[in-house]
Structure 1
Amino acid sequence: MNTFKLTALLSHIQLTPQELEMCKAALKPLQSSIDDQHAFYEYCLQWKLAPWLYLQLQKHGFISFFDKKVIARFENTYQEVKLENENRNVIAKQFLQAFHDHNIDVIILKGNAFTQTFYGDVGYKKMNDFDILIKFEDWPKIEQIYYDLGYIPLGFGWSGEKQKPAKYSHTSLPFISTDFKCIIGTQWGLKSPTTHFTVDTKEIWDTAVPLDFYGIPCKQLSPEYNLIHLILHLGVFKCGTRDCMDLYNLIQSTPIDTEKLFAIIEKSKAIQKSRYALEMCRLCSDYIPEEWIQRLPEGKPSFINTRLRKRLVMFEEVGDMHGSYNDYFQDIEKNVIYYNLFPQFHKRIYFFAKILRLLYFPEIKFALKFIDKSHQPTLLNKLKARLLGPWFSFSMIAQEIGWKVTILLFVKLCIDTLISPLNYFTSKESYFQYLKKKGIEAHQIKKLVQNVQ
């Protein structure tokens, strides 16, 4: 059993006696080599599994196979993540209580809900923000609550207006708590309306189930909608054990109504994405029902189908799904955020140039991951990766927001850069002027954005 298979197996909430024996047999030889123990920790850290694997090693009595120094590294990583998440939850309780007091319904999404349900531990993984689903008509009241609590909007948005969410978006601007320990992601849909997915918002709310968040009555998605949300959220390239484990642990720990699930998949036009997500999970877990895969036809050729086929070939060659893992979309997204924070031409042109470089000239290590050939860096593969790099850069963005909006936003970036010299002469308040009036230093916002993983 290689390290990938071992860590994937250990990431399961429930392990059979036979699986526990397999893990024990794979871990016990590590006792004789401190270097191998450190290498195991480094693998877990690199793929963001260290906090959860630390809990699992403790739970199953495998932590004794490790040296004190290695145990300390696992524990320190877990405690850091746990503290971050606990600090975020302190803020979450603040605004969730305010919502409850104002009779505003809220659904807590993904990991922040799962800490309270099947994982049962607030430190099981690092989370960037606290994502919630609201009803669109409640947004004005919620926004006012954020301002009343002193929270800070992250930028002014594409239109430059603090009060109006973009019509093509399913989310508001992120808001940041005054202590910079919580970014709140407020959304009224599970996926951008500009993509081809069509998730039934009314049914989401009709089927939502209660969730107690530290004594505050909230809601969570039904098991079926939780699964479809995780499927839609799973990245094409940001896809490793840590990203898949929420799906297969949800399946393993929670009864799923198969017919309801497939009705939602079909209605949401998510057949290809569901096949991709479940096939990726199957590389880590034996708990993905084979019948589910069989009910999801491959369909016509597409970007997602091609990537699935190439990824499975890569996995057969190297025995690890992480060979193509990258978070390049987030690298682009961060620079777009910075671009929008700085209205002056001399700053915007710097970030615009960085965005262009990321889009058209990705580093070869990323370009090889795009074509699932990082393990075969031959001259031919490097040439192919270099030529196809821009196509993959734009395709990643289009997977999140759709091709039309991707092109429109790129055009808008170009136009905004060309006219940005006018900002030297305008009296319109910039974002950092707004922050200065509130006594907030710009570097605090920059540091927060940079810390997002």
Structure 2
Amino acid sequence: MNTFKITALLCHIKLTPRELEECKVALVSLHSNNANQHKFFEYCFEYKMAPWIYLQLQKHDFLQLFDDDIKELFKNTHEDVKKENENRNKVAKQFLQAFHENNIDVIILKGNSFIHTIYKNTGYKKMNDFDILIKFEDWPKIEQIYYDFGYIPLGFGWSGEKQKPAKYSHTSLPFISKDFKCLIGTQWGLKSPTTHFTLDSKEIWDTTIVLDFYGIPCKQLSPEYNLLHLILHLGVYKCGIRDCMDLFNLIQTTNINKEKLFAIIEKSKAKEKSFYALKMCNLCSPYIPSGWIEHLEVDSSSFIITRLKKRFEMFKETKDFHGSYNDYFQDIEKNVIHLYLFPHFHKRFKYLLKVIRLLYFPDMKDALKFIDKSHKPKLFNRMKARLLGPWFSFSMIAQEIGWKYGILLFVKMCFDTLISPINYFISKESYFQYLKRKGIESSKILKLVDNVQ
């Protein structure tokens, strides 16, 4: 069976009778073959779709087609994710109630909002954190609320100044609940101001709609801004069915005003990213409205559109686009976080070397994914991947924070590491000394960072 196609269909909220029959025929073909059933589960698990696929198999009475051990694998994956998400929501209710009592507006973003509006299930997918959008002027009050609850800042920031927002950032430092169940991402912008995107903050807030979060009045983005936000955060390489799923299900289940959508795409300078996102979704979903993609004019020679063309070539050859899927940007980000958690040179230098290796000497497996040739590891492709690896590493970062600031932050990171020996002699409280003073186990912080997916 075409595993990609069947999995993509099962990820849809709504399925037509014809689509259901196609899924049934494909899954029946696995019925008497435990090894192939296991391969199907592993595919869903590897690309982080197993929790939602379990719910869909259950809903459409397809679970009976699987052996008991495979059912158990799907069920356990869903239950683990559900438990994590519900524990996170318990913490979220705590600080969201405090926001409400202090007249602080808050927009709940992405999956933590879609649990209530689209999927109606707390275990539909694994989430790393609880992302919220706030107004910048409310940050001092919010920060104080976090401290009042005993939440823990994740590090001291790029400059070592506790919780002081960086001018070039759209987010605060993440905070961690004292039970380590919730990582809170607090932001006052939908995308880094160092990128070329321009987002109208006033319009974002003026167009919000009500969201009831377990009885606590909150807000969510308008359908149009919700879709734009998902588009802007769809990775060039971290892009699988699961990452497209929220987009095509939002489109399928929500009344999106085409004129409003394309007006904000135009104003936000997001045409190319929207073209990329909708084209990728179109490989998964038959429900992208006619004319939407054609409406977008893009530069066919740009980095992201060139990658899109290569991705389509790979899809034509393999009937799947997961061959280029990777979390490489996140791997770099984790090492940068670790670097700034440690003040002393001997530890910082270790993480700087890891970042340099990831940027300049990516593993061949990842380098082939960069050029969309993981399915063709021939000598020429391996040589090309090795030669162009650093270019793709920096280009990927530039997609997230812009070329200028990507290079500046890399230089700053190197400089901060080179001058860090001074911390052996200057008596300045380090992050880990701060944690020890607060009675917090640093190993739990490091484990939380490492477990981010």
TM-score normalised by the chain length of structure 1: 0.99
- In structure 1, the residue matched to 2:86 is 86
- In structure 2, the residue matched to 1:110 is 110
- In structure 1, the residue matched to 2:72 is 72
What secondary structure does 1:293 align onto?
coil
The 5 Å alignment of 1:159-170 reads: 159-170=159-170
Residue 105 of structure 1 and its aligned partner are, at CA, apart by 0.3
What secondary structure does 2:97 align onto?
helix
The 5 Å alignment of 1:72-151 reads: 72-151=72-151
2:279 & 2:62 partners in 1: Cα distance?
A: 29
What secondary structure does 1:30 align onto?
coil
The 5 Å alignment of 1:146-185 reads: 146-185=146-185
Runs of 4+, deviation exceeding 6 Å: none
The 5 Å alignment of 1:25-36 reads: 25-36=25-36
Residue 299 of structure 1 and its aligned partner are, at CA, apart by 2.2
List per-residue Cα deviations over 1:357-397 (Å, max 9, x = no partner): 01100000000000000000000000000010001111111
1:203 & 1:399 partners in 2: Cα distance?
A: 24
State whether structure 2 residue 8 is matched by structure 1 residue 13: no
- In structure 2, the residue matched to 1:357 is 357
- In structure 1, the residue matched to 2:271 is 271
The 5 Å alignment of 1:275-354 reads: 275-299=275-299, 301-354=301-354
The 5 Å alignment of 1:408-423 reads: 408-423=408-423
2:36 & 2:382 partners in 1: Cα distance?
A: 32
2:11 & 2:345 partners in 1: Cα distance?
A: 48
Question: RMSD value over aligned CA atoms?
Answer: 0.7
Question: 2:105·2:135 contact (CA, 8 Å) conserved in 1?
Answer: yes
Residue 414 of structure 1 and its aligned partner are, at CA, apart by 1.2
- In structure 2, the residue matched to 1:391 is 391
Question: 2:370·2:389 contact (CA, 8 Å) conserved in 1?
Answer: yes
What secondary structure does 1:217 align onto?
strand
- In structure 1, the residue matched to 2:435 is 435
1:163 & 1:140 partners in 2: Cα distance?
A: 10
Residue 300 of structure 1 and its aligned partner are, at CA, apart by 5.0
1:385 & 1:36 partners in 2: Cα distance?
A: 32
List per-residue Cα deviations over 1:117-145 (Å, max 9, x = no partner): 11000000000000000000000000000
Query: What residue identity is the alignment partner of 1:416?
Result: D
Question: 2:153·2:163 contact (CA, 8 Å) conserved in 1?
Answer: no
Residue 298 of structure 1 and its aligned partner are, at CA, apart by 2.5
Identity %: 74
Residue 45 of structure 1 and its aligned partner are, at CA, apart by 0.4
Residue 290 of structure 1 and its aligned partner are, at CA, apart by 2.9
2:377 & 2:449 partners in 1: Cα distance?
A: 32
2:21 & 2:113 partners in 1: Cα distance?
A: 31
Residue 60 of structure 1 and its aligned partner are, at CA, apart by 0.4
State whether structure 2 residue 424 is matched by structure 1 residue 424: yes
What secondary structure does 2:180 align onto?
coil
2:145 & 2:55 partners in 1: Cα distance?
A: 37
2:179 & 2:426 partners in 1: Cα distance?
A: 32
State whether structure 2 residue 44 is matched by structure 1 residue 58: no
The 5 Å alignment of 1:240-251 reads: 240-251=240-251
Question: 2:104·2:138 contact (CA, 8 Å) conserved in 1?
Answer: yes
TM-score normalised by the chain length of structure 2: 0.99
2:83 & 2:441 partners in 1: Cα distance?
A: 24
1:303 & 1:173 partners in 2: Cα distance?
A: 30
Provide closer, same or farther for how the CA distance between residues 300 and 283 of structure 1 changes in structure 2, counting only shifts above 3 A.
closer
Query: What residue identity is the alignment partner of 2:388?
Result: L
Question: 2:163·2:173 contact (CA, 8 Å) conserved in 1?
Answer: no
1:431 & 1:160 partners in 2: Cα distance?
A: 9
- In structure 1, the residue matched to 2:4 is 4
Residue 433 of structure 1 and its aligned partner are, at CA, apart by 0.5
1:36 & 1:380 partners in 2: Cα distance?
A: 33
- In structure 2, the residue matched to 1:48 is 48
What secondary structure does 1:119 align onto?
coil
List per-residue Cα deviations over 1:217-237 (Å, max 9, x = no partner): 000000000000000000000
List per-residue Cα deviations over 1:147-194 (Å, max 9, x = no partner): 110000000000111131000000000000001110000000000000
Residue 442 of structure 1 and its aligned partner are, at CA, apart by 1.4
The 5 Å alignment of 1:153-232 reads: 153-232=153-232
Residue 446 of structure 1 and its aligned partner are, at CA, apart by 0.6
Residue 274 of structure 1 and its aligned partner are, at CA, apart by 0.1
1:308 & 1:254 partners in 2: Cα distance?
A: 26
Query: What residue identity is the alignment partner of 1:33?
Result: N
1:418 & 1:162 partners in 2: Cα distance?
A: 21
Alignment size in residue pairs: 453
1:58 & 1:268 partners in 2: Cα distance?
A: 40
Q: Which segment is superposed worse, 171-180 or 284-293?
A: 284-293
1:363 & 1:231 partners in 2: Cα distance?
A: 28
Residue 443 of structure 1 and its aligned partner are, at CA, apart by 0.9
Return 5+ residue gaps in structure 2 as ranges. none
- In structure 1, the residue matched to 2:452 is 452
List per-residue Cα deviations over 1:243-276 (Å, max 9, x = no partner): 0000000000000000000000000000000000
1:360 & 1:290 partners in 2: Cα distance?
A: 42
Question: 2:300·2:306 contact (CA, 8 Å) conserved in 1?
Answer: no
Query: What residue identity is the alignment partner of 1:41?
Result: F
Question: 2:272·2:304 contact (CA, 8 Å) conserved in 1?
Answer: yes
Residue 113 of structure 1 and its aligned partner are, at CA, apart by 0.2
1:367 & 1:16 partners in 2: Cα distance?
A: 39
- In structure 2, the residue matched to 1:254 is 254
What secondary structure does 2:212 align onto?
strand
